[in-house]
Amino acid sequence: MLGAGKSGIASAKFLSKKGAIVALHDKKSIETWTEEARSLKEKYGVGLIDGKIPSWLLDQIDLVVISPGVPTGVVPARYVDRKDGEVIGEVELAYRFMKGQIVGITGSNGKTTTTSLIGEILKNGDIESQVGGNIGTPLLSLAESSADSTWTVAELSSFQLETIKEFRPRIGICLNVTPNHMDRYELFTDYASAKHRIFMNQTAEDLAVLNADDEITNSWADGLNAKVTLFSTSRELDEGLFLRGRDLVSRAGGKEKILTTRDEMRLRGLHNVQNVLAGLAAGLACGVSPESMRETIREFKAVEHRLEFVAEIRGVSFYNDSKATSVDATLKALEALSEEKGEIILILGGLGKNAPYKPLENLIESNVRKLVLIGDDADNIESQLKNCSEIIRVDSMKDAVQQSFENAEKDDSVLLAPACASFDMFKSFEERGDVFKSFVVGLASENRNVHFEVARDVRH
pLDDT attached to residue 448: 66
* Neighbouring C-alpha atoms within 13 Å toward the C-beta of 424: 17
Tell me what the mean pLDDT of segment 177-201 comes to: 89
- The residues near 183 (Cβ < 8 Å, ≥ 6 apart) are 352, 353, 354
Give me the pLDDT at residue 455, please: 55
Look over the chain and give the mean of its residue pLDDT values, rounded to a whole number: 93
Assign 184 a pLDDT band (cuts: 50, 70, 90).
Answer: confident
What is the amino acid identity at position 293?
A: M
Regarding whether 123 and 64 lie in a shared domain, the answer is no
CA 188 to chain centre: 18
Measured from the Cβ of residue 296, the count of other Cβ atoms closer than 10 Å reads 24
For residues 172 and 159, give the distance between their C-alpha atoms in angstroms, rounded to a whole number.
16
Angstrom distance (rounded) from CA 418 to CA 371: 11
Answer yes or no: do 337 and 286 share one domain. no
Among 84, 102, 119, the domain-final residue is 84
Residues 73 and 122 in one domain: no
Same structural domain, 123 and 267 = yes
The count of domains in the chain is 3
pLDDT of residue 26: 94
Q: Kindly write down the DSSP assignment for every residue of 100-124, as one continuous string.
A: SEEEEEE-SSSHHHHHHHHHHHHHH
Phi/psi for 98 (5° steps) reads -80, 135
Does residue 55 lie in a domain region?
yes
Number of other CB atoms surrounding residue 347 within 10 Å: 30
Residue 175 lies in a domain: yes
Separation CA 221–CA 212 (nearest Å): 9
Residues 76 and 96 in one domain: no
Length of the chain: 460
Q: What is the average pLDDT across 409-437?
A: 96
With CA atoms as reference, report the closest residue to 88 among 176, 184, 16, 15: 15
Q: Are residues 181 and 112 in the same domain?
A: yes
Mean pLDDT of all residues in 188-216 = 97
As a whole number, mean pLDDT of residues 158-168 equals 96
Do 184 and 249 have their domain in common? Answer: yes
The 10s digit of each residue's pLDDT in 363-372 is 999 999 999 9
Is residue 63 in a domain?
yes
CATH number at residue 232: 3.40.1190.10
| CA 213/CA 218 separation, integer angstroms | 7
Q: How far apart are CA 40 and CA 24, in angstroms?
A: 9
For 256, list phi and psi in degrees, rounded to 5: -135, 160
What would the pLDDT profile of 81-126 be if each residue is shown by its tens digit?
Answer: 777 789 999 999 999 999 999 999 999 999 999 999 999 999 999 9
Determine the Cα–Cα distance for residues 292 and 125; give it in Å rounded to an integer.
6
Same domain for 328 and 192: no
265 shares its domain with 317: no
Q: Are residues 137 and 43 in the same domain?
A: no
Return the bridge partners of 50, or none: 26
> Predicted confidence band at 398 (pLDDT cuts at 50, 70, 90)?
very high
Same domain? For 374 and 265 the reply is no
Bridge-based pairing of strands 413-416 and 255-261 is: unpaired
Mean pLDDT of 138-164: 96
Return the half-sphere exposure (C-beta side, CA atoms, 13 A cut-off) of residue 228: 18
| CATH classification of the domain holding 431 | 3.90.190.20
DSSP three-state, residue 55 = helix
Provide φ and ψ at 260, rounded to 5°.
Answer: -165, -175
pLDDT above 70 for 389: yes
Query: Could you read off the pLDDT of 313-361 as tens digits, one per residue?
Result: 999 999 999 999 999 999 999 998 988 889 999 999 999 998 899 999 9
Torsion of Cα atoms, 386 then 392 then 395 then 396, to 10°? -120
Answer yes or no: is pLDDT of 290 > 50: yes
Residue 250: phi, psi to the nearest 5? -110, 130
Distances (CA, A) of 30 to 4, 51, 227: 9, 9, 47
315: left (phi over 0), alpha (psi -120 to 50) or beta: left
* pLDDT one-digit tens code per residue, 30-86: 999 999 999 999 999 999 999 998 888 888 899 999 998 888 888 788 888 777 789
Q: Each residue of 414-445: b (16+ CB within 10 Å) or e?
A: bbbbbbbbbebbbeebeebbbbbbebbbebbe
Give the residue from 38, 63, 84 where a domain finishes. 84
- Bridge pairing between strands 247-252 and 255-261: antiparallel
- The H-assigned helical ranges of 183-242 are 188-196, 215-219
pLDDT for position 453:
53
Which pLDDT value is given to residue 450? 46
Q: Which of 245, 271, 299 is the last residue of a domain?
A: 299
Instruction: Identify the domain containing residue 32 by its residue range.
Output: 6-84
In a domain, 1, yes or no: no
Residue at 231 is within a domain: yes
Q: Are residues 213 and 176 part of one domain?
A: yes
